[in-house]
């Protein structure tokens, strides 16, 4: 009886060895300690909330900044040239690249795609804005920022610099808390809707395609409005000329 009981105990101890080894590995990594797991879960939730807050803030600001510039690209080119930070040809190239780039990074952040990479680009754009504004403030020039295109203008100054520095800090925080450089985040709309997995390129290519279509449509609508305004002005001028001619002929006939 003792031998049978001993063999039974040894048999069960033998099966418990892998469980014990797994427990030791989990304990070393910190997953077996329940209080530690709870403490680790709280910062993760706070990091998620911070990522969503910073991402939505930056995405909305950059989207609101990009759309007016895409609708009036020539006006933004003139603004960048007027800042006189870069040579004229580089200023025109910069002004052509910034609006679609702002739209793309805003769309990436709002959809949870390549958030860390988009935040780095946002930080570089904000740094270039800060440098341009700081140089012109040092020169003593009184310029409008045109941060949101022609729709809203404000003079450059310390308030604008502090605003850009705050957005730069938010983009740095987003870089630190985001999980993916080129893939979608766990909260991404593409992943939650089941349209793409973590390593798929479909979300990134979709955002690029939407940006290209938006830039083309907004630019075409602006060009169409300019053509319509020019035709309207020509029509009004021609009607005025015809009236003047008619009035002149009437006076001569009388």
pLDDT in tens, the chain (254 residues): 334 334 434 444 444 444 444 444 544 544 433 333 333 443 567 777 878 888 899 999 999 999 988 988 888 888 888 898 999 899 999 999 999 999 999 999 999 888 999 999 999 999 999 999 999 999 988 888 877 766 667 888 898 899 999 999 999 999 988 877 877 888 888 888 877 766 678 888 999 999 999 988 887 765 555 554 455 456 556 656 776 776 666 666 65
Q: How far apart are CA 144 and CA 80, in angstroms?
A: 11
CA dihedral 27→33→38→40, nearest 10 degrees, is -30
Asked if 134 and 157 touch (Cβ cutoff 8 Å), the reply is no
How many CB atoms lie under 10 A from the CB of residue 235? 10
Contact, 110 vs 52, CB < 8 A?
no
Phi, psi of 33 (to 5 degrees): -95, 110
The DSSP secondary-structure symbol of 186 reads T
Q: Distance (Å, rounded) from C-alpha 140 to C-alpha 117?
A: 35
> From start to end of 129-219, where are the E strands?
none
Predicted TM-score of the model (pTM): 0.69
At 108 the pLDDT is 94
If you ran DSSP here, which 8-state letter would residue 144 be given?
B
Domain boundaries, the chain: 52-186+198-246
**pLDDT for residue 116:** 92
Q: What is the DSSP letter of 179?
A: -
d(CA 223, CA 246): 34
With CA atoms as reference, report the closest residue to 123 among 57, 167, 86, 157.
Answer: 167
**Burial tier of 189 (Cβ tally within 10 Å: 0-12, 13-18, 19+):** middle
Interatomic CA distance for residues 100 and 207, integer angstroms: 11
């Amino acid at each position: 009886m003792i031998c049978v009981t001993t063999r039974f105990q040894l048999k069960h101890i033998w099966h418990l060895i892998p469980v014990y080894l797994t427990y030791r590995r989990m304990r070393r990594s910190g997953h077996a300690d329940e209080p530690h797991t709870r403490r680790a879960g709280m910062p993760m939730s706070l990091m998620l909330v911070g990522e969503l807050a910073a991402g939505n803030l930056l995405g909305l600001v950059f989207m609101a900044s990009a759309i007016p510039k895409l609708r009036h690209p020539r006006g933004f080119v003139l603004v960048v040239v007027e800042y006189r930070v870069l040579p004229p040809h580089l200023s025109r190239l910069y002004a052509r690249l910034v609006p679609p780039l702002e739209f793309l990074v805003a769309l990436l952040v709002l959809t949870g795609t390549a958030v860390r990479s988009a935040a780095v680009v946002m930080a570089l754009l904000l740094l270039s804005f800060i440098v341009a504004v700081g140089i012109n403030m040092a020169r003593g020039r009184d310029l409008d920022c045109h941060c949101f295109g022609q729709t809203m203008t404000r003079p450059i100054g310390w308030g604008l610099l502090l605003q850009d520095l705050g957005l730069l800090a938010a983009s740095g925080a987003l870089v630190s808390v985001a999980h993916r450089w080129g893939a979608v985040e766990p909260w991404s709309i593409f992943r939650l809707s089941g349209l793409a997995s973590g390593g798929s390129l479909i979300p990134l290519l979709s955002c690029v395609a939407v940006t290209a279509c938006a830039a083309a449509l907004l630019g075409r609508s602006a060009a169409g409005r300019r053509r319509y305004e020019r035709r309207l002005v020509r029509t009004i001028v021609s009607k005025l000329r015809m009236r003047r001619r008619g009035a002149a002929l009437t006076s001569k006939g009388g």
